Structure 1
């Protein structure tokens, strides 16, 4: 014991931890937190604990995971089936991510209903919105790193959304993909985002958030009939803290119990259900592909399905921005007044409508049938009237058109998939050069097929598509400015 004390004294003399950390641990909080209502204040600590679990398991996984198109899938299979406890690490990482999203949403809902975003804690709420946004982006990049069918189509949809940004769209797409199509450069960039940039941003926001929590104090449980008055709240809160309790140990032990329960639940789910994926190999020509995002993105997934094509750009670009701005605006619109949910029926209604809507959209996104006609490739041959006019090279292109599952999304003379445009007369809308570029590089909602077709197949396919035009009409000389995409990615809607 003497040796331990000497070591502690050595560090204490140099770091002065007692003078810096101890006051923070002992800072006063409202005495009401020692009552049962104090359990309503543990969700933030549970979220932080799950983030720490993510960091620990993520570091271990990064030692084995290989962010290349050739090796990513195999490295996950190795973790699942060969690496000692690799499956458990992946499972804990996935379920802690799920738990973190859940706890963060619960925490923000609790803060909203208890009016803890009001004066003087507006900035604390705004930083919390930043933490929520960063966490969701982190979750999306983690899904991409699985590099299975869901991952592939998820990137396709993200690229489709980014490509619609006015003026800068193509440059953003190239920046995301690291080239003209989804491949090793894409994975490398998402790996960097997921492992370095986003965690760094998240930790930075978290430090600011915790600093504000300590400096501005933990809000007292709301009482009906005691509104927040900016002119007097500061003085009233100081008087409240005079009768308060120290955070350690009176309030911290509840956080400790709640965090321990969260870790046990995550580990239990990991052991029982195992890791998530990887699913099907990432290949846009797989005829049985039915990709869906992780559960927290299912409402957006379903919303895109319910909307007409004219609304897709707004939903992809405008709605997320509006949602974030609405959250940021909350403390400025309702920064004072009643905090109790009993006196704020509009706030309660907003929460109920939001969660009911998310649940309905999530259910729809999880259970609805996949919109492209996934049987068109086999049950609907190229119409005989088209085949009779084809040369040998064009016939070969028709075979490629069938075998590469273009019929999943596209119709010929009205028969076939409905997600993409009917290609019966595509030869008068796009010239051969534009068709080659569209097939190889992708664009709009279409994935790049550079890795799924060789040059001979592309040449034959384009020859076939050029032939698809009314008799007597010459092929397009230049691509129309309003030309439709040749192939639309089925990942955008269920």
Structure 2
């Protein structure tokens, strides 16, 4: 023991850590803050450490190249001992971390912990939330399966809409105008070095401010926050009715963090790793990219918005939301903390939470992920091919074989992603149908490279039969006038 004591003294004389650690561990906190409501911040930090450790181990095997990324993940899943469990711990740890960070932000908002003197702590927390979401998105891209490929394509499309700098931003993100080998190298650097480095720096600063400013006291109704008196009132409360952080508050943090890690391990063992799915193939355009749960609400919102509102929404709403979060403590740094005295704030929080929940639920099955078995289980209704020409019947076969009913319904059955086609011949002329099929438009991909000319002709002939009985199909009025003029003497 004497040798250990001498070794300890040797390091302590040079590092001088004992005093700061004791001050941090034994500093008094209000007794009512040693509560189960205050454990989410520690759990988020624990999950961050889990992500760092598992991420380092995965980086030893993962190859960030378009040719080898998918194979390296399958090597982990199928051949390396417990490689699948390591990937599962990392993937489910990411999901848990996003959820715990969001719950922590909600708890901080509900308890008014963003008010003086913790404004900067809240602002830093907002950036930590953005970094956490950035980690989740870049991690999904590194799976480099079909969902990741097309999800990144949609993300790049969204970024390209930024005025003036949209194109350069896409080139910076992808390493060029298209998704290629350089893309994975950049996302690997972001996911493994850049974002974790920033997140660890922010986390250390965040913890330092919590220690120096103290844990937010329980929001009692009538206890008003005033910049001139709050610090004195807090210190008096902490010394009069306070307990040392260790062990009175720490044991709850440790217990909850252990429970969260156990939950991650159970999910990893029972549900396994997240992907990878099918190999990324840009030629397969009949795909429905499905993001991880924390981005589903955004995809659903964008799908339901009219096309004319998509770009304004993308360019304004997220920016305004982030600015509102950053400005919150600066504009409402004083006043009541108790949720009993802040009905407008709580009503706003509940409205946002319910809206996000609804859109997330919608995003799981429609319109980005509709039930995709219409084309395989439901044939074209017989009435649609009754008394039609052989060419039109062949068009119905093309319609079925090319999975058009994934997105479009006819006869009341089919997908919900695109409009119903029962009356498409009334809305679009022959030329417009051909152009829409070959070039796409809106949410519809271009099928020019996936259909031969005979298939295109047959498909358009079939689509021209989809109209109410007795109603004439759409025609080009300008062509009719030209024909009428040519027939006049």
- 1:309-328 correspondence to structure 2 within 5 Å: 309-328=307-326
Paired with 1:174 and 1:317, the residues of 2 have a C-alpha distance of 19
- Cα pair distance change 1:259/1:352, threshold 3 Å: same
Q: Which residue of 1 aligns with 2:364?
A: 366
Q: Which of 202, 207, 220 matches 1:223?
A: 220
Instruction: Give the equivalent residue in structure 1 for 2:202.
Output: 205
Q: 2:37 corresponds to which residue? A: 40
Question: Deviation string for 1:328-381 (max 9, x for gaps)?
Answer: 122123211111111111122122111111111111000225479998899899
Conserved in 2, the CA contact under 8 Å of 1:120 and 1:216? yes
Where does residue 276 of structure 1 map in the other structure? 274
> Of residues 106, 122, 126 in structure 2, which corresponds to 1:125?
122
Contact 1:72 1:147 in 2 (8 A): yes
* Superposition pairs of residues 14-413 of structure 1, within 5 angstroms: 14-34=14-34, 38-243=35-240, 244-286=242-284, 289-369=287-367, 370=369
Q: CA deviation at 1:109?
A: 0.8
Whole-angstrom CA distance in 1 between matches of 2:371 and 2:234? 59
Paired residues of 2:285 and 2:445 also in contact (CA < 8 A):
no
In structure 1, distance between residues paired with 2:236 and 2:52: 40
Which residue of 1 is the match for residue 395 of structure 2?
Answer: none
Shift of 1:316: 2.2
CA change 1:235–1:75 in 2 (3 A) is same
Runs in 1 of length 4+ with deviation above 3 angstroms? 284-288, 369-381, 400-410, 416-419, 421-430, 443-449
**How big is the shift at 1:285?**
3.6
| CA distance in structure 2 between the partners assigned to 1:287 and 1:375 by the alignment | 17
Output the CA distance in 2 between the equivalents of 1:429 and 1:281.
30
In structure 2, relative to structure 1, the CA distance for the partners of 1:418 and 1:255 (3 Å cut) is closer
Structure 1, residues 216-240: CA drift from partner, whole Å, max 9, x if none?
2111101111111222112111211
Give CA-to-partner distance per residue, 1:183-236, whole Å, 9 cap, x none: 211111111111111111111211221121122211110111111122211211
How far, CA to CA, are the matches of 1:425 and 1:260 in structure 2?
A: 64
**Is the Cα contact below 8 Å between 2:126 and 2:326 reproduced in 1?**
yes
CA distance in 2: counterparts of 1:320 and 1:212, whole angstroms? 27
Structure 1 unmatched runs, 5+: 389-399, 411-415, 474-494
Go from structure 1 to structure 2 and tell me whether the alpha carbon gap of 1:269 and 1:375 turns closer, same or farther (over 3 Å shift). closer
8 Å CA contact 1:47, 1:100 repeated in 2: yes
8 Å contact from structure 1 (residues 156, 445) kept in 2:
no
Aligned length: 442
Aligned-pair CA distance for 1:241: 2.3
Alpha-carbon offset, residue 12 of structure 1: 1.2
Partner SS state of residue 227, structure 2: coil
**Superposed CA RMSD:** 4.0
2:444 and 2:67 map into 1 onto residues whose CA distance is 22
User: Are positions 1:12 and 2:12 aligned together?
Assistant: yes
> What whole-Å deviation, never above 9, does each CA across 1:86-133 have from its counterpart, x for those lacking one?
111111101111111111111111111111111111111110001111
Three-state SS of the structure 1 residue aligned to 2:154 is: helix
Q: Give the equivalent residue in structure 1 for 2:483.
A: none
SS of residue matched to 1:367 = coil
How far apart, CA to CA, are the structure 2 residues paired with 1:318 and 1:179? 26
CA contact (8 A) 1:163 1:444 kept: no
Q: Structure 1's 323 and 96: CA in aligned 2 closer, same or farther, altered over 3 A?
A: same
- Paired with 1:448 and 1:20, the residues of 2 have a C-alpha distance of 63
Cα distance change of structure 1 residues 299 and 64 upon mapping to structure 2, 3 Å threshold = same
Q: Which has the larger radius of gyration?
A: 2
Deviation string 1:456-477 (CA, Å, 9 cap, x unpaired) is: x79x99xx99xx9x9x99xxxx
The superposition leaves residues 427-466 of structure 1 with CA deviations (integer Å, 9 ceiling, x where unpaired) of 9999xxxx9xx99xxx9989999xxx9xxx79x99xx99x
Task: Measure, in 1, the Cα distance between the counterparts of 2:228 and 2:138.
Answer: 45
**Structure 2 unaligned regions, length at least 5:** 393-397, 409-414, 420-426, 461-475, 480-489
